Amino acid sequence: MNTQVLSQSFTQKLRACYALTKPRVVSLIVFTAVIGMLLATPGVVPIQILVAGTAGIALVAGAAAAINCLVEQKIDAVMQRTRWRPLPRGELTVQQTLAFTATIGGLGLWLLYRFANPLTMWLSVATFIGYAVLYTLVLKPATPQNIVIGGASGAMPPVLGWAAVTGEVSTEAMLLFLIIFAWTPPHFWSLALYRTEDYARAGVPMLPVTHGKLYTRLQVLLYTLILVAVSLLPYVVRMSGWLYLGAAIALGGVFVAYALRIYFAYSDFVAQKTFRYSIAYLAALFAALLVDHYL
């Protein structure tokens, strides 16, 4: 009986640790990182780099997410969409979280150093610091532009993937960075619009809390237009062909339509649909890049 109880407790701890890594967010990070790897070469990515690079980036991203959960556990406890997380529910202690973070983060960096290259490891360290420290500790509680500035960390995965294969950061890699960087504000502000009361209750200065919903709706529209323009750059520099251009225009047109509805006919339902579409948009855009690359 005691063995069964211990086994159940251990399993619950593992599930709690897994939840700390924000697996849905990390899955998108890993997806764009792998696309970066595949786009970096006209041939086949060495299996060692593909496997170790993917695992390393995923582990470091998970560690950064865990630190974010640790720092924001009091905020998460008062927000409806995050109160279920392990730390507000008391499923993990601070010590357990730190030990878990150090383990997976350290393992991820070692994999990148040993099987990819030192540049990828150091870029991952910088990304970790940018998200877990600069964004979480400094920017998020201090400025409504937290998403814009902190978006640089979230835009790094394809650059990490590219560097893992080539050992350098090229213009093409930076274009992938720019796409995600421009995508981040309309993505997160769509969420913030229908979660404004949540952020206000938690004391987080998100844009709709500090500047109102109308101003935020305008920013969503403007950044969506910027995103669509930036998404055309891979075609402009001949990184991609007509297939990607058509996909970028079609996907961007739908995003702009959502942004126009947010600005001119706002409802929480529209904001929720825009947020969900933004995730599908990014995945489809990068998938189109990949298909175009191999055709």
Determine the pLDDT at residue 1: 47
What does the pLDDT read at residue 286? 97
Residue 292: inside a domain: yes
- Residues 163, 194: one domain? no
| Single residue among 114, 134, 168 that ends a domain in this structure | 168
- 151 vs 233, more confident: 233
Say which CATH number the domain at 87 has.
1.10.357.140
Helix (H, G, I), strand (E, B) or coil at 222: helix
Expressed as residue numbers, the domain containing 85 is 15-168
b/e code 8-38 from CB counts within 10 Å (16+ = b): eeeeeeeebbebbbbeebbebbbbbbbbbbb
Instruction: Give, as one character, the DSSP assignment of residue 131.
Output: I
Stretch among 10-19, 39-48, 97-106, 108-117 having the lowest mean pLDDT: 10-19
Residues 196 and 290 in one domain: yes
What's the pLDDT tens digit per position in 185-227?
999 999 999 999 988 888 888 999 999 999 999 999 999 999 9
In a shared domain, residues 142 and 38: yes
Overall number of domains in the chain:
2
Short-list 219, 215, 181, 201, CA closest to 81: 201
In a domain, 6, yes or no: no
Examine the domain organization and report whether 113 and 188 are in the same domain.
no
Q: Determine the average pLDDT of the residues in 84-94.
A: 86
Take residue 49 and report the two structure tokens written for it.
């780099």
Q: In whole angstroms, what is the distance from residue 290 CA to residue 34 CA?
A: 10
Give the pLDDT confidence score for residue 246 in this predicted structure.
97
Residues 41 and 126 in one domain: yes
Query: What pLDDT is recorded for position 86?
Result: 85
Q: How far apart are the first and last CA of the chain?
A: 59
